[in-house]
Amino acid sequence: MYYAAEGNFNEAFKTILKTNPFPNVLGMVCDHKCQTKCTRVNYDEVLRIRDVKWFVSENNNNGYKEELPLNGIKVAVIGAGPSGLSCAYFLRLAGVEVTVYESKSISGGMASEAIPRFRLKEKALQKDIDRIKNLGVHIHYNAKIDHQSYGFIKNEYHYIYIAVGAQKIKKLNIPGDNAEGIIDPIEFLSSLKRNAPLSLGENVAVVGGGNTAVDVARAVLRVLKDRNKVTMVYRRTLNDMPAEKEEIEALLEEGIKVIELSQPVMVLTDNNKVKGMKCVKMQLSGKDSSGRGRVVPVPDSEHILYFDCIIPALGQETNIDFLTDDELKTVTHDKITPAKLFIGGDAYRGASTIVQAVADGKEAALKVIDAINYKKETISNKVPEISYEKLLEKRAIRQFSALPKPNANQNEADAPELPYSEKQIMAEASRCLLCHQLCNICVTVCPNKANYCYITEPLSFTLSKIRMADNKPVIEKDKTFCVKQKYQIINISDFCNECGNCRTFCPTADAPYTHKPKFYLTPESFRNAPEGFYFTKTPEKKALVYKKEDKFFTLSMINGQYVFENDQIKASFSQNNFSLMKVELLSPFEGYLLLDKAAEMLLLFKAAENLY
Ligand code: SF4
Ligand code: SF4
C-alpha cells in the first residue's frame, strides 16, 4: 500500500510477489477476508485492498523471469492448481527443484476450469502461471498419478505435496438424480470456458448456495440471457449461504431468483428426462455446530418446481486413489509425515477458496524450507519507515474510499475491465494506516486509557546465559535478543476494569489487557496484584520490579550500569549494549540460568522512564 500510494507500482508489485504467487488472479477473485479485518473500519471504512492489488498486478508484468539456481533438494507436487503452483513457487524461490504432475492438459485447476470469464480474465491466470514456470518449475501435463507412478515419485523426490483439488462432485442423492438434464456444475463451467456446445433447456435450477452455485447461476443467466429462466434453490436462508457476500450481492443485483428454505427430495422425470423437482419447505430451528441456522423440514410442505435442467452445485469431494489407506490416514496439512508427504488446498479441505489454496501451498513450502534450513530472506520485506506524527495524522483524518464499484459484465465471454485510474488507486492506497508500523487500536478503543503506547528504538544484542562450574557462575553466549517493532504497548492495570473492549477490537484477535505487560502505579496496587511491573524513581535510583508467583525480579540503574537481581543472581550490564559485565551468585542453581527476563525488563525500563 505504501508503494501504491507513492505511485511506485513496480515496487508495489515486487512486494506483492514476495508473499503472493497469484497476484493477477487474486487481484480479481480473492474473497478478500483481509478487508473484514482492515483497521481503517474503525475510522471510516475499510480499504479496498484487493482492488489496489488488482490495479498494481494488471499494470505490471515484471517479476521473476529467470530460472534460479538449485540447492539439491527435489520436491514433487501433484496437481498444478493454485495450491500446487503456490507451493512450487515458494520452493523454487528457495532453490528447490520442483516438478509438478498435472492430470489435465492445462494448469490452474479450478481457476482455469471453473471460474467464469466474466469474473476472471484468462490472461490474468496465464500471466501468473507463466511467471511461476519462468522460475524453472517443470510441469508434466496429462500425468495422472496411479499407484505405480506414485511409487516412482516416492523414490525420486525428497518431499511430496499433494494438491489434487476436490474434483468429485457431490450428487443430489435423491431418487432420479441420474436423469437426463442433470448437469455436473464443473463440467458446465468448463465447457463454457472452452466454448463447447451446451444443452441447458429452457428453465434451469441451480441447487446449492456456495461459490460454485452462484458462479453457475450467473453463468446460466449469461447463456440464456433471461433472468426468469434460472432459479437457485437453497435449503437454508440467503444469510447462511456460504458463497462470498459480494458474489451473492451480484447475483441478486442481476435479478436471479433464489428460493430459500427449499430442499429437493426427488427429481421428477418424463422418459428419464428432467421435468422438475419435488421439494419440501424447510424452517429454521436453532443453530447448528457451525453457527448457521439449523433447518428442519416443514411437515406436509411438499411442492413441485418445474425445470428441464438441474445443476446440483453442492460441493466437491476429494478422490485420492494413488495413496495407500495408511498414507491416507496419516497425511495431513499440519505437518510433514515421516514419509515426507503432506497435503493442502481443496484436496485437504474440500472445495474452498483460491486464496486458501494458495495459502496452503505457501505454508507447505515454508515447512520444507524450514526442514531444509533455508534462509527465508526472500519472503520478508521492508517498507520505509513513516514518522510517528504522520502515522497519527493518517488516523486523525476521516477519508472514505472514492473508488467506484466495478460493474459486472453481462456477457459470459467479457472479462472484467479495470475501472480505476492511477490517481484513484494512489488515493485509495494512501488511506492505508500502515498498521504494521503502528496499530494502536487497543489504545484508542480503551474507555479508561489503560493501554499506553511507548516508542522504543529497535534493539538487538547478544544475550548471555550462566551456568555453574565448581560452585562459580560461568558466562556463556546465548541467543540474540531482538525487538523490531518500534511502537509497543503496556497495560496500566490500575486503570483497566477488564471490560474486554480491546480484545473485541484487536485486529490480530489478541487480548491486550491480559497479554501486554501489566504496570501498577501504586505500591499498594502492585502488592495486591498476582503478577506485573512496578517502577520507582528517586533522585538516587530508578528501578523496575517484576513479580510473579511471589518471585521478584529487579532491574535498576545504578552508577551508569543496569543491575538485574532475582533470588539467584545479581548481574551488572553495560548501559550501552547490555553486555554482561559481572555476576554475583546469590543461591546455587542447576543447568543454565537465562537472562531473557533481564532483556525484556530493559525494554520496559526505558518505557517506564518516559512514563513516570
Ligand atoms: S495496514 Fe491497516 S489500514 Fe492498511 S490495509 Fe492493512 S489493516 Fe487496512
Ligand atoms: S480491557 Fe482494560 S485495557 Fe482493554 S479496553 Fe477494557 S479497560 Fe481498556
Q: Specify whether the CB–CB gap between 511 and 489 falls below 8 A.
A: no
Atom of ligand 2 nearest to the CA of 449: 8
Residue burial 521-530, b: 16+ Cβ < 10 Å; e: rest: eeeeebeebe
CA-closest candidate to residue 85, choices 379, 333, 334, 344 = 344
Residue 475 CB neighbours (<10 A):
16
How many angstroms is it from 433 CA to the middle of ligand 2? 22
Task: Give the residue whose CA is nearest to atom 8 of ligand 1.
Answer: 38
How many angstroms is it from 32 CA to the middle of ligand 1? 12
How many angstroms is it from 520 CA to the middle of ligand 2? 14
Determine whether the shortest distance from the Cβ of 501 to ligand 2 is under 6 A.
yes
How many angstroms is it from 452 CA to the middle of ligand 2? 11
Q: Specify whether the CB–CB gap between 413 and 117 falls below 8 A.
A: yes
Residue 481 CB neighbours (<10 A):
18
How many angstroms is it from 50 CA to the middle of ligand 1? 12
Rounded Cα distance between 439 and 329, Å, is 42
If one residue of 502, 505, 506 were mutated to test the ligand 2 pocket, choosing by the most ligand atoms within 8 A of its CB, it would be 502
Atom of ligand 2 nearest to the CA of 501: 5
Residue 471: its pLDDT value, please? 80
Atom of ligand 2 nearest to the CA of 498: 1
User: CA of 235: how far to CAs of 86, 207, 485, 487, 500, in Å?
Assistant: 35, 9, 49, 49, 37
Determine whether the shortest distance from the Cβ of 429 to ligand 1 is under 6 A.
no
Task: Give the residue whose CA is nearest to atom 8 of ligand 2.
Answer: 446
Determine whether the shortest distance from the Cβ of 435 to ligand 1 is under 6 A.
yes
Residue 523: its pLDDT value, please? 94
CA-closest candidate to residue 440, choices 421, 430, 423, 453 = 453
Nearest ligand to the CA of 500 is 2
Q: Specify whether the CB–CB gap between 218 and 250 falls below 8 A.
A: yes
How many angstroms is it from 488 CA to the middle of ligand 2? 16
How many angstroms is it from 396 CA to the middle of ligand 1? 15
**Regarding beta strands 74-78 and 459-469, do their DSSP bridges make them parallel or antiparallel, or are they unpaired?**
unpaired
Q: For residue 237, what is the DSSP state?
A: -
How many angstroms is it from 527 CA to the middle of ligand 2? 21
Rounded Cα distance between 67 and 137, Å, is 8
Q: What is the pLDDT of residues 484-494, one digit of tens each?
A: 889 999 999 99
Residue 368 grid cell? 520444507
Rounded Cα distance between 562 and 346, Å, is 55
How many angstroms is it from 451 CA to the middle of ligand 2? 7
Residue 493: its pLDDT value, please? 96
Rounded Cα distance between 237 and 429, Å, is 36
Atom of ligand 1 nearest to the CA of 436: 1
Residue 136 phi/psi, 5-degree rounding, is 110, 20
Residue 195 grid cell? 466454448
If one residue of 491, 494, 495, 498 were mutated to test the ligand 2 pocket, choosing by the most ligand atoms within 8 A of its CB, it would be 498
Residue 380 grid cell? 520478508
Q: Specify whether the CB–CB gap between 233 and 172 falls below 8 A.
A: no
Rounded Cα distance between 211 and 313, Å, is 9
Determine whether the shortest distance from the Cβ of 1 to ligand 1 is under 6 A.
yes
Determine whether the shortest distance from the Cβ of 125 to ligand 2 is under 6 A.
no
Nearest ligand to the CA of 399 is 1
How many angstroms is it from 434 CA to the middle of ligand 1? 6
CA-closest candidate to residue 278, choices 310, 249, 248 = 310
Q: Specify whether the CB–CB gap between 348 and 360 falls below 8 A.
A: yes
Paired with 465 in beta bridges are: 476, 594
If one residue of 34, 36, 37, 39 were mutated to test the ligand 1 pocket, choosing by the most ligand atoms within 8 A of its CB, it would be 39
How many angstroms is it from 250 CA to the middle of ligand 1? 25
Low-confidence ranges of the chain (pLDDT < 70): 62-66, 375-382, 409-410, 412-413
How many angstroms is it from 45 CA to the middle of ligand 1? 11
Determine whether the shortest distance from the Cβ of 15 to ligand 1 is under 6 A.
no
User: Residue 326: which residues within 8 A CB-CB, separation 6 or more?
Assistant: none
Domain architecture of the chain: domains with CATH:
64-166+318-379 (3.50.50.60), 169-316 (3.50.50.60), 441-611 (no CATH)
Nearest ligand to the CA of 429 is 1
* Radius of gyration of the chain from its Cα atoms, rounded to whole angstroms: 30
Residue 177: its pLDDT value, please? 94
Rounded Cα distance between 71 and 241, Å, is 46
Q: Specify whether the CB–CB gap between 197 and 183 falls below 8 A.
A: no
Determine whether the shortest distance from the Cβ of 379 to ligand 2 is under 6 A.
no
Atom of ligand 1 nearest to the CA of 49: 5
Residue 576: its pLDDT value, please? 85
Q: What is the pLDDT of residues 155-172, one digit of tens each?
A: 999 999 999 999 888 999
Determine whether the shortest distance from the Cβ of 583 to ligand 1 is under 6 A.
no
Task: Give the residue whose CA is nearest to atom 4 of ligand 1.
Answer: 432
Determine whether the shortest distance from the Cβ of 496 to ligand 2 is under 6 A.
yes
Residue 379: its pLDDT value, please? 47
147 SS3 class: helix
Task: Give the residue whose CA is nearest to atom 2 of ligand 2.
Answer: 496
Task: Give the residue whose CA is nearest to atom 5 of ligand 2.
Answer: 446
Residue 488 grid cell? 509497543
How many angstroms is it from 447 CA to the middle of ligand 2? 7
Atom of ligand 1 nearest to the CA of 439: 2
Rounded Cα distance between 15 and 3, Å, is 9
Q: Specify whether the CB–CB gap between 93 and 19 falls below 8 A.
A: no
Residue burial 410-431, b: 16+ Cβ < 10 Å; e: rest: eebeebbeeebeeebbbbbbbb
Task: Give the residue whose CA is nearest to atom 7 of ligand 1.
Answer: 38
Residue 381: its pLDDT value, please? 56
User: Residue 206: which residues within 8 A CB-CB, separation 6 or more?
Assistant: 185, 213, 216, 217, 220, 230, 231, 232, 233, 311, 313
CA-closest candidate to residue 120, choices 414, 425, 352 = 414
Determine whether the shortest distance from the Cβ of 433 to ligand 1 is under 6 A.
yes
Rounded Cα distance between 48 and 50, Å, is 6
User: Residue 291: which residues within 8 A CB-CB, separation 6 or more?
Assistant: none
Task: Give the residue whose CA is nearest to atom 6 of ligand 1.
Answer: 38
